[in-house]
Chains A and B, each alone.
Chain A
């Protein structure tokens, strides 16, 4: 390497240090602590110094390496090998993953915390798969997907608390409501694509959240809805002491009462819901409407000249994507037993979009890996408190640097007809 390059990369890493200082200075350097009657600022310049130093050093090392192109190519080779393996053995991988998911609650190391994280990851997987229909297949960038999640959760909560209907009746109703809102969003954005569509959907997500806050008579505003009924195991509730004339789950099966029963049941519930979403997507991809979604993503004018009706195609994509968001929403409501507009902020939409994009647009397995990676990482670093968002951001940057098209970028062709294989 020439001397000029070294000086260049040294300058570059100093600049990186400057950016790091600007970021870490206020975020890390000034720590607010509540002591007694007020907030006090404790400076932590030592830590800032350390972090900035690490950034400068890291940048310098990356610069040196990229000049030699060793580290990076090694890393991307490793990851591309990984994606080739999973593509080739996608079926085996899927079966193993499903089997693992099925036995997961009974593994010796599985405790309540693991189960909660697993349920959360599965919820995001389901949301990711739902959004994948809209973003990955139909190519309509929807930044307001959380709106349908919210509609599902609120319709479930309102129906269940008002009429007292069971989960299994409310679930499809919530899905229908969400699908209806999907069509509602679909109509005004039919002519939009790309950035413009993204802005409008972003607005739609916020509108729904603001309506939820302000429509006090129905939604109870920022206070949210409490006392949402828990799901029952085909009519058997999970209660320690059942009401008069009721048999609860543990009595019916002659088990000792444990709160884990309900958690395990919720786990299987979301697992089944997520798998239904996946199965549905894989099937619909092979039907004319699914193919039309993908064609629309590629070229709208060609679609029109071939007789694909873009209006219906877009609306079905929005409606079906929204429906699965609504299912996930009702699951969320029944699991939490309490919902408020707080849970449906833009960051949720952003996380779901991130999962779809980082997973590799349109890849079902990619969504799973990205959810585990992103949600898992933020959970793993929970001890770091607010810094875990840095881990979250770092994870995203790493994926985009090494796999710019997502974890699993290569989608297999949907159809292999006449029995050939390449």
Chain B
């Protein structure tokens, strides 16, 4: 469904991605783990078209998207929940959700779509007239996910949904991600530093080091992998 081959992305002269190969199949949950600065967020931004790949191809449903504009890519069915949530803090919860429907806004399905988001995250329904900036971190993350869902994506790109959120809410959010995948049949590509959670959830997973994929396999395989345990899991468990 989404096939990334040999993608290289630069920030000026600094190379962030050094030939990434990766694919995501229909209906899967795929996780990408890696440390700070490995290029995880850059990869998502490159898929979304916010950053442009200098070399390599990104093919979505048989169509090359590496040179498309971000809003075209959203129209095609790839939606991103950006790192740090990026809620429109002075707009209300409902306005935030409406903006998510921007690509898709014909008004017709809007009422139904917004109801589905509220069913998924009932807390948002209680807070729909509240400004985005007044929500807690976890609620903002839910809003960011709901907002991305409003454009009816086929693939949802999630960038560190656990960042800066209370552990209890992290569990809840990961359960929701699973539900979105299973019930709404949305393919998930998840980027996480919380390697344990990400691998437990994933059907398949990749490890990104220094702009390159070094290890790939099923989520369970990677959980048992000695190198990964040493580098990402045990260190994480101690903290």
Give residues in A with beta carbon < 8 Å to B: 288, 291-292, 294-295, 297-299, 301-309, 411, 413-418, 420-422
Which residues of chain A are within 8 angstroms of B103 by Cβ–Cβ distance? Answer: 306-308
Please tell me if the beta carbons of A420 and B128 are within 8 angstroms of each other in the complex.
Answer: yes
Q: Does B227 contact A (CB under 8 A)?
A: no
A114 to chain B, nearest CB (A): 38
Given contacts A302-B82, A420-B129, A422-B129, contact A307 B71 (CB under 8 A): yes
B53 to chain A, nearest CB (A): 16
Return 6 A-B CB contacts under 8 Å, by A number. A288-B102, A291-B95, A292-B102, A304-B71, A413-B129, A413-B131
Which residues of chain A are within 8 angstroms of B63 by Cβ–Cβ distance? Answer: none
Give chain B interface residues in 148-194, CB to chain A under 8 Å. Answer: 148, 151
Give residues in B with beta carbon < 8 Å to A: 48-50, 69-71, 73-75, 79-82, 86-92, 94-95, 98-100, 102-103, 105, 128-131, 147-148, 151
The interface centre, meaning the residue of A291, A292, A416 with most chain B CB atoms within 10 A of its CB, is: A291
The interface centre, meaning the residue of B49, B71, B94, B98 with most chain A CB atoms within 10 A of its CB, is: B71
B230 to chain A, nearest CB (A): 34
* Bound complex: CA A303 to CA B131 (Å): 17
Known pairs A301-B86, A416-B129; list 7 more (Cβ under 8 Å): A298-B91, A301-B50, A302-B86, A304-B48, A306-B74, A307-B71, A414-B91
Q: Which residue of A lies closest to B90 (CB)?
A: A298
Q: Which residue of A lies closest to B73 (CB)?
A: A307
Please tell me if the beta carbons of A413 and B92 are within 8 angstroms of each other in the complex.
Answer: yes
The interface centre, meaning the residue of A294, A295, A301, A307 with most chain B CB atoms within 10 A of its CB, is: A307
* Bound complex: CA A411 to CA B87 (Å): 18
B229 to chain A, nearest CB (A): 33
Please tell me if the beta carbons of B86 and A307 are within 8 angstroms of each other in the complex.
Answer: no
Which residues of chain B are within 8 angstroms of A414 by Cβ–Cβ distance? Answer: 91-92, 95
Given contacts A288-B105, A301-B82, contact A307 B91 (CB under 8 A): no
B9 to chain A, nearest CB (A): 15
Please tell me if the beta carbons of A304 and B50 are within 8 angstroms of each other in the complex.
Answer: yes
Which residues of chain A are within 8 angstroms of B49 by Cβ–Cβ distance? Answer: 304
Which residues of chain A are within 8 angstroms of B95 by Cβ–Cβ distance? Answer: 291, 294, 413-415
Given contacts A299-B88, A415-B92, contact A306 B69 (CB under 8 A): no
Given contacts A294-B88, A298-B88, A415-B95, contact A307 B147 (CB under 8 A): no
Please tell me if the beta carbons of B50 and A302 are within 8 angstroms of each other in the complex.
Answer: no
* Bound complex: CA A143 to CA B79 (Å): 36
Please tell me if the beta carbons of A308 and B102 are within 8 angstroms of each other in the complex.
Answer: yes
Q: Which residue of B lies closest to A417 (CB)?
A: B94
Which residues of chain A are within 8 angstroms of B100 by Cβ–Cβ distance? Answer: 306
* Bound complex: CA A88 to CA B175 (Å): 41
Q: Which residue of A lies closest to B101 (CB)?
A: A288
Please tell me if the beta carbons of B90 and A304 are within 8 angstroms of each other in the complex.
Answer: no
Given contacts A295-B88, A299-B86, A413-B131, contact A308 B94 (CB under 8 A): no
B170 to chain A, nearest CB (A): 21
* Bound complex: CA A288 to CA B107 (Å): 10
* Bound complex: CA A325 to CA B111 (Å): 37
Which residues of chain A are within 8 angstroms of B75 by Cβ–Cβ distance? Answer: 307
Which residues of chain B are within 8 angstroms of A298 by Cβ–Cβ distance? Answer: 88-91
Q: Which residue of A lies closest to B103 (CB)?
A: A307
